[in-house]
Structure 1
Amino acid sequence: MSDIFREALMEDAARINVPQKTWEQVKQSYKFTSLNNAISNTPLQWDTIIRKICYGFAAALIVGGLLIASGFVSPVMAKTLERIPVIKAIFNFVGDKGLQNAIDKGFSTKVNRTATDKGISVTITDVLYDQGRLDIGYQVTTSRHDLSPNNYPGDMTIPLDSPGMQFFANNKPIHDTAQGTEQRMGNGRVGLVEIYPRGDLPETFNLQIAIHQIGKQQGQWLLTVPVSRQHTDTATKVFLPMKAETIGQTTIMIKKVEIAPSSTIIESVLTHPIKEKLSWTTIDDKGHVFRPISGYVMHKHVDGDMITETIRELFESPKIFPKYLILVPTTSNSGFPTKKIKVLLN
């Protein structure tokens, strides 16, 4: 992973500001607003109102909350979206081999939950959850003639700067980094969002989402989506190589390698001079270079001119399970010797 990529991820993650409201507080605030609106227009049918709110609000929020968390829309992902023939292939548009391999092996779960408010519907189509990431596919459609899917950002887009987007796991706010992308398909828009867990999400939980704006249209949507990684955990292989190499003043130790259906996670401990920027390329036994997805510093300790960092990095998983990995470290020090670190996976 390059220094620029790593530092940008750390900086973005540090800037994320997640409201501290609980899921119950969010639901209560929307119940109050919905009640006022219902009284002023029609006789109150509370069960129907709550059911519609709960289905609708969260689906839309999934779309927007992840997009706003990173503010990132990949041109490659968007271009690939244009070639999708059907919405059931929602996960295949990202050009992510690890994700596609996991889907091909049946690790995604169909959700197909739809929420409708103000004539706009949001459908959560599929989810895929493993040790590295939680992926959510969605579709936005409308029966209104005054809204067009052609505009971006526009009528049917969850705006990146939309206020009030929140994610919860069993009623607790989710603080993890996320990103997403979306594009037009047919009479609506489709997209994919990803959350990158930091070890704080349970194996099985209710993902609760909230949003109150699509395009310029304000509304009220809430949704609960059950997610689980029990199936993917069973297929995940974990290795504790504890492989250490010292190069000059720099020591690299590979503590843990997890190869999940869509993600490969490498946990390492780096000790190096503070002024020295360290990165490396990860290659498998067949020469395939692992594409980095995300990463963050779990712990760090400064001792004089040296710093020790525990880093968790996320890559897409290979199609064929490797026998070993090769790490090729580089630093900002031009005199740093080239050395390959071989990590056996057995």
Structure 2
Amino acid sequence: MKKSHDPLDEFPKEEVRSAIQAGIVQAEGQINNKIIKTRGNQMNSGKRKILYAVSSVAAAVGILIGSSYYSPALASSLSQIPIIGSVFGNSNLIGLQQAQKQGLTSTIGETQTIDGISVTLDEILYDQNNITIGYIIESEKELGEHYFGAGADFTINGELPNGSSGGYGEDIQSPTTRTAIQDITVSEDMPNAFELGLILHGENRETWYFSIPIKQITDISKVPIQHTANVDGINLTVTELSLSETGVSVSYESSEEGTDFEQSRAGDIEFQMVDQDGNEIMSHSGGITGKKLKNKLVFKSNKQFDPIDSNVTELTITPYLALPTGGGGVEFDENDETRELEFRGDSLQPVEFESFKVKIPQ
């Protein structure tokens, strides 16, 4: 079976692409009027914006509720990348390296320049509900460390997804040149092919728009699991394991009684994965989306792992809590006045989940 991307001969039509561009502009206006939280309600319309930062000893990953965050892990993966060459191929993420070598990525190479700052969309990978984007950014002037914040906002066929999360990391090659990788996880089912709209904002209110047709890779194997657990009021259902040459992902839903996201533990679930020989499969975590349903908080996520070898026949998966140990936040009102928000997650108590095994189809 052919593993590389097939040309999108019929999708999308050029007239559709112009409509998508208009949708991106409209979506930008919607995004600017969202509440953005890393531990809070799903994004809702309003003039007040809140941004939390949460840290964890077990995993240096921010928990995202319908938003994106700057990822030190992704930034680290870009270290020592040469300016000339593939951003994915030169990263230290095994899945991206393999995808680039085997022709599973889509090379874009589109550059847009605004006020002397050139942003090149280098390549894109779309696998199991996960979209990874590589950027090369060059400027005529020196840029600040977090000039592009948490990366680009995005649309699917011109529409904002109902639930998404992700991370963004940069490696500063020089004061005027940097590379970046953005990871987007969408919790809802996505079409196999669609028009991806990207809206990247600069520190000085510059805006770069991209609109690109993308297609999901083939040879994705899905293993139904339906493993359930209820521990100390935390309900967990692991629904599926997805396998491809770019990596492994674990899909799950968790919930807990309550209305305070910062006091909930159901959004702090991670997984350890080892094969039948005891070899650990490296986790790259993954964002999480959450929403409030009456008096219950419900979370969904797809956790990402390195690809496994063909000789792996069984995986043992252990859920655990990666509880935050610090953080806090800043609230912006309609006048862009700020108010510090204290961290209130230090009272959360750990729990232990039982491991479960998954047979890998051969």
- Structure 1 residue 292: deviation in Å? 4.2
CA distance in 1, matches of 2:81, 2:293: 47
> What does residue 316 of structure 1 align with?
305
Contact 1:295 1:311 in 2 (8 A): no
Question: After superposition, where does 1:52-201 map in structure 2 within 5 Å?
Answer: 69-74=67-72, 76-92=73-89, 94-142=91-139, 144=140, 147-148=141-142, 151-153=144-146, 157-160=147-150, 166-174=153-161, 175-185=163-173, 187-201=176-190
> What does residue 226 of structure 1 align with?
213
Higher helix share: 1
Contact 2:281 2:305 in 1 (8 A): no
Paired residues in the alignment total 268
Contact 1:280 1:329 in 2 (8 A): yes
Unaligned runs of 5+ in 1: 1-21, 31-65
- Structure 1 residue 313: deviation in Å? 3.2
* SS in structure 1 of the partner of residue 87 of structure 2: helix
After the TM superposition, which of the residue ranges 84-93 and 128-137 deviates more from structure 2?
A: 84-93
1:209 aligns with 2:198: yes
Amino acid at match of 1:313: N
* SS in structure 2 of the partner of residue 88 of structure 1: coil
* SS in structure 1 of the partner of residue 122 of structure 2: strand
Rg bigger for which structure? 1
Query: CA deviation digits over 1:249-268, x for unaligned, max 9?
Result: 99876432111333422234
Amino acid at match of 1:171: G
Query: CA deviation digits over 1:178-226, x for unaligned, max 9?
Result: 2111122355221111111113432111112234x5343x445432111
TM-score with structure 1 setting the length: 0.62
Amino acid at match of 1:133: N
Amino acid at match of 1:112: G
Instruction: Specify which of 289, 293, 312 is matched with residue 285 of structure 2.
Output: 293
> What does residue 37 of structure 1 align with?
none
Amino acid at match of 1:185: Q
Instruction: Specify which of 22, 25, 34 is matched with residue 24 of structure 1.
Output: 22
1:281 aligns with 2:272: yes
CA distance in 2, matches of 1:235, 1:126: 20
Contact 1:261 1:317 in 2 (8 A): no
Question: After superposition, where does 1:236-247 map in structure 2 within 5 Å?
Answer: 236-242=220-226
CA distance in 1, matches of 2:23, 2:231: 53
> What does residue 341 of structure 1 align with?
356
CA distance in 1, matches of 2:27, 2:75: 35
1:328 aligns with 2:315: no
Distance 1:301 1:120, change over 3 A: closer
- Structure 1 residue 310: deviation in Å? 7.7
- Cα root mean square deviation, aligned: 4.2
**Sequence identity percentage:** 18
CA distance in 1, matches of 2:228, 2:71: 37
* SS in structure 1 of the partner of residue 86 of structure 2: helix
- Structure 1 residue 301: deviation in Å? 8.7
> What does residue 339 of structure 2 align with?
none
CA distance in 1, matches of 2:315, 2:127: 21
- Structure 1 residue 235: deviation in Å? 1.4
Contact 2:167 2:182 in 1 (8 A): yes
